[in-house]
Amino acid sequence: MEQLIYMDNAATTPVKPEVFEAMRPYFTEVFGNASGIYRFAGKAAKAVSDARDIVADFLGAKSKEIYFTGGGSESDNWALKAVAEAYEKKGKHIITSKIEHHAILHTCEYLEKKGYEVTYLDVDEYGVVDLEQLKRSIRPDTILISIMFANNEIGTIEPIREIGEIAHERGVLFHTDAVQAYGHEEINVDELHIDLLSASGHKINGPKGVGILYIRESVKIGSFIHGGAQERGRRAGTYNTPGIVGFGEATRLAKEHLAERKAKETALRDKLIQGVLEQIPYARLNGHPTKRLSNNANFCFRFIEGESLLILLDQNGICGSSGSACTSGALDPSHVLLAIGLPHEIAHGSLRLTISEENTEEEIDYVVGKLKEIVGRLRSLSPLYEDFVKESK
Ligand SMILES: *Cc1c(COP(=O)(O)O)cnc(C)c1O
């Protein structure tokens, strides 16, 4: 096969061989329904419970506060819809940000149609939410603040502790979509004042279709999937034992190697950012220069269409994305880039490269070189660029 340089880890990651090996017996040998009474089922139940303990330990939570779900989108839907329903007597106002994942934004739009009111907080030029605006937006009928831990497009890490403190001082619940941060950043739900937290397996070298929702014990919300008594009656459905085991093992590995992996990724990321900004004119880094995920680099190249760039990168064996996997294919520029104040024409020329510890320095050099070549080629075909060069002479 031709070479493949994978730099789209924010979209999904490969299952690590160790994770796959840990899951394997639960497809074939240990297939029993984890809810069964016989000892054979007990083996599956034990595996589910061990995975739950690993996740709880990683988050500084209690095991009974961890609920396995069908992924990040389900966790986000559950958190928002269930809090809205359970706390509607207190009020119908929710606060979120303009740069959330669509699993949050589209759920908010759904709730607006059901009579809830949603405030979408602004972010600054780096994508950091405005804490003063947050304080001003809280009302007596505010029931939930949902702000993502780290942005999936531009990698900016939000001031989660401060947001949690503000929420709790004002008696409002705090949910965070931590899908991009889980396994990459240290997270302690008590220290950060988090009441609900979403994470997903396939973003952390675990399997697709499994996630978690952390629900603080004191939060009284209803079930999302009605049926059997699984997950303390709050999320019915036969246990996805292999998936849950995979999520647990991926979490265990992520925790064990967190610091080492972060250091390695940060060095590669900074080499990539520096290379691009130094070698390619009119390139811009999107997101915060330092408060960003260790694997995220997001650029805008003026006078370029993001789509054309991705196609030419792909022809050179490089997988990147124009923003989020969910918006690619759509012609609208990213809502995140518009929220940080970029004009449409610049937001169109964006490129997200999300690396992993598996990438090498040689790959970074190769990608920077190819990018320089491709951006130069595309600009040479652009009448806008021609005019711009003439004018600036
Ligand atoms: C990927 C992602 C999701 C969705 O998770 P799935 O497991 O794919 O449903 C939600 N939020 C963020 C920030 C993400 O990056």
Q: Is 150 in the pocket of ligand 1 (CB under 6 A)?
A: no
pLDDT class of 323 with cuts at 50, 70, 90:
low
Q: pLDDT value at position 330? A: 53
**What is the average per-residue pLDDT within 24-35?**
94
Which part of the chain is CATH 3.40.640.10?
A: 64-237
- Encode pLDDT of 178-206 as tens digits: 999 999 999 999 999 999 999 999 999 99
Q: What six digits make up the tokens of 273?
A: 């950012």
Packed helices 306-315 and 361-380: angle between N→C axes, nearest 10 degrees = 130
Q: What is the pLDDT of residue 326?
A: 44
Question: Looking at ligand 1, which residue's alpha carbon is closest to its atom 3?
Answer: 72
Within 10 angstroms of residue 201's Cβ, the number of other Cβ atoms is 34
Residue 202 CA: nearest ligand 1 atom is 7
Give the per-residue pLDDT at 2.
72
Roughly what angle, to the nearest 10 degrees, separates helices 72-86 and 102-113?
Answer: 30
Find out whether the beta carbon of 179 lies less than 6 Å from any atom of ligand 1: yes
Residue 176 contacts residue 128 (beta carbons within 8 Å): no
Where are the domain boundaries for CATH 3.90.1150.10 in the chain? 5-12+258-392
For ligand 1, say whether the CB of 323 is within 6 Å of any of its atoms: no
Q: Please compute the mean of the pLDDT values over residues 26-52 and round it to a whole number.
A: 93
* Catalytic residue from among 108, 300, 319, 326: 326
What is residue 372's predicted lDDT score, i.e. its pLDDT? Answer: 97
Res. 48: pLDDT tops 90: yes
Say which CATH class 5-12+258-392 falls into. Answer: alpha beta
Q: Is 319 noted as a catalytic residue in this protein?
A: no
pLDDT at 325 over 60: no
Among 8, 108, 151, 180, residue to substitute to test ligand 1 (most atoms within 8 Å of Cβ)? 180
**Which pLDDT score is estimated for 348?**
86
Query: How many Cα atoms occupy the beta-carbon half-sphere of 51 within 13 Å?
Result: 30
d(CA 189, CA 43): 30
Name the pLDDT band for 384 (thresholds 50, 70, 90).
confident
Tell me the C-alpha distance between 148 and 131, whole Å: 14
Q: What percent of the chain has pLDDT over 90?
A: 88
Match domain 64-237 to its CATH number in 3.20.130.10, 3.40.640.10, 3.40.50.450, 3.40.50.1370.
3.40.640.10
